[in-house]
Amino acid sequence: MEERRKIPRKYLMAYSSVYEQSTGKMLGYLSDLTLEGLMVIGKEKLEIGKETEIRIDLPEIPAFEENQLQIGVRIIWVQPDLDPRLNNIGFNFIELPEEQKPIISEMIEIYEFRREN
């Protein structure tokens, strides 16, 4: 898949659970994250183009009182994972509220997985 990302993706060491807000159904685990979107690894194969609201359970971040984020997203791609039982699901944020940007930035900073190139 051609790389179209404007902001470098950060791979996370802490995997937070991600749920569809309207149903409470677990979609999978947060795998990577930017201020533009995220990737979830899960068993579901979701419909590309669908818009929904998700809830991300946050790791403990002392600077913030919140323990979860609710964000509107659009599913932009679904690909099989290396594990054939799982899918990698790419989401774009529909509109990331200003008050949530520092939380996501802090998650990226604290929990990023530093890969050697």
Write out the two tokens for 16: 């937070």
Residue 113 has a pLDDT of 45
Other beta carbons within 10 angstroms of residue 47's beta carbon come to 9
| Strand 37-42 versus strand 68-80 pairing type | unpaired
What pLDDT band is residue 112 in, cutting at 50, 70 and 90? low
Q: What is the pTM of this model?
A: 0.80
Encode pLDDT of 83-98 as tens digits: 999 999 999 999 899 9
CA distances (Å), 77 to each of 36, 63, 103, in order? 14, 33, 25
Residue 3 has a pLDDT of 60
Whether the Cβ atoms of residue 92 and residue 100 lie closer than 8 Å to each other: no
Encode pLDDT of 4-55 as tens digits: 656 665 554 457 899 999 999 999 999 888 999 999 999 988 999 999 999 9
